Amino acid sequence: MGQCPSAPRRRKPPPPSPSPALAVTPPQLIASIAEAAGGEDRTADLPEELLALIFGLLGSGDRKRCSLVCRRWLAAEAASRLRLALDARAPLLADEALPRLLARFPAVSKLALKCDRRAESVGDPALTLVADRLGPGLRRLKLRSLRAVTDDGIAALAAAAVNLRKLSVGSCYFGAKGIEAVLRSCLHLEELSIKRLRGLAKSEPIAISSPRLQSLSLKELYNGQCFSSLITQSPNLKSLKIIRCSGDWDIVLQDVPRDSLLTELHLEKLQVSDLGVATLYGLEVLYLAKAPEVTDIGLTALAAKSPRLRKLHVDGWKANRIGDSGLAAVAQKCTSLQELVLIGVNLTCSSLELIAANCPTLERLALCGSDSFGDAEMSCVAAKCAALRKLCIKACPVSDAGMDKLAEGCPRLVKVKVKKCRRVTSECAERLRASRNGALAVNFDTPGGAGELQDARSIDESGMLDNAGSDVPPDDLDDQIGPDLSSGSSRPSRWKVRMGALIPRSLSVSIFRRQTRGACYTSHES
């Protein structure tokens, strides 16, 4: 569940101006320390290894500033830097900047090459240079919008980076042959993320698996089924994400072996039905978002084959294809359930009572846009979910009468979040806070407030559902050399959230919902 303040946001007061003693840059500070020590360099006796270890504990900005103090510190910072992000536009190679940067940072093991989508990127020669300078030591590689890179360039880099553990590719124009070259050369690859790979349209399916691959993410791909053998034949694959990829995925899921180690599955905006979902075994985490052809039948079959299911997130898209029947099967078969997030799913007390009775470890519950979740269902949760710790209710027809039941129920509850529930008042939120002597955190927003502009997916308390379809850059690639492309080509995130709430949903969604009010899915059921 998201972090939303219970009171309207207030502007933070400006930070106090630093005292004159602290308003100095690191080089000036070092100079003042050296002057106080009689001009003696107290770090001269430190071994190079210890100095490199100290630099490893500093942030990116402090490392850059401290490297300007003296030549020794410059060399120590360069020798100990493990992460590097470069602006991969064409001038990077034309100005001979890339060879100098790679020569300065020979120990880099995590490299990101990102180019602005409107600019010309570096090509195969840049990857060849990276392979020559960093090849065997490279562990993690991220490529973004490198439109001039071909399969041959990827193959040359993969042949040198034999110890690569993680590869993330987005908005590039090479095809499946480049990915196949990586899989053949990088036998230690554990994580692979592919997003918007433009060269897949005419690619043939690759007939290779990865012996150590544990995580595979496919996002916004056309002809993504060419990686089916990677899904079905990788013996150590544990996490699979398939998000907004075209084509029929039932056949791929049906080919997943029964003894597969796959435990975490994310399916979002896919053409997948009960036929594909019902064949899966041993899942522990399932995210099922906007897959309207999956019904209670598929969820029931999956629950029977995945008794260790711990987390279940369902975005039903208000299609009324998943309801009490499927959730009751989950309650009866998956007794280890700890987290349940339902968006656009209409459930009643009949399934809630089974979930509360059979899932004693349920700690996190989030409900959004459920037209049937009212005061009676809220009273059921309060009375029978004894292990519940975090609860989120959004856009549901509950009122003060139902929410007041939480004051006496759910003894382990530590956080409640209520959003866009027009029948719940701020007085009720205050009563809930007072009922636990301040031990219960209550996040409440009034209808029409700032919190109402956020998307429904923000209800997930763990933050995973929010990012299920996004491509958030990892924190370990924040040491960037050159301009920040991510901030230069996009507006602030708060502006995006507000504008995204004001823009109407797509025409396809509107048509789909209008069809479901009439004869829903007659073509699939006939």
Assigned domain for 366 exists: no
**In which domain, by residue range, is 146 found?**
82-246
Assigned domain for 384 exists: no
Confidence (pLDDT) at 33: 52
Number of domains in the chain: 1
Assigned domain for 421 exists: no
Assigned domain for 412 exists: no
Q: What is the pLDDT along the chain (526 residues), one digit of tens a residue?
A: 444 444 444 455 555 554 444 444 555 555 555 555 555 777 788 888 888 888 888 888 888 888 888 888 888 888 888 999 999 999 988 878 999 999 989 999 999 999 998 899 999 999 999 999 999 999 999 999 999 999 999 999 999 999 999 999 999 999 999 999 999 999 999 999 999 999 998 888 998 899 999 999 999 999 999 999 999 999 999 999 999 999 999 999 999 999 999 999 999 999 999 999 999 999 999 999 999 999 999 999 999 999 999 999 999 988 999 999 999 999 999 999 999 999 999 999 999 999 999 999 999 999 999 999 999 999 999 999 999 999 999 999 999 999 999 998 999 999 999 999 999 999 999 999 999 888 999 999 865 544 433 333 444 444 433 443 344 334 444 444 443 433 344 444 444 444 444 444 343 434 344 344 343 333 333 3
Which of 60, 147, 87, 126 lies closest to 486 in space, CA to CA?
87
Assigned domain for 18 exists: no
- Residue 268's DSSP bridge partners are 243, 289
Q: How far is CA 130 from the centre of its chain?
A: 28
> Which residues fall within 8 angstroms of residue 454, CB to CB, at 6 or more apart?
2, 4, 419, 497, 501
Per-position DSSP letters for 373-390, written without gaps between them:
--HHHHHHHHHH-TT--E
Assigned domain for 428 exists: no
CATH number of residue 237's parent domain: 3.80.10.10
> Which residues fall within 8 angstroms of residue 515, CB to CB, at 6 or more apart?
none
Assigned domain for 383 exists: no
Instruction: Give pTM, 2 decimals.
Output: 0.78
What span, in angstroms and rounded, lies between the C-alpha atoms of 287 and 56? Answer: 37
Assigned domain for 196 exists: yes
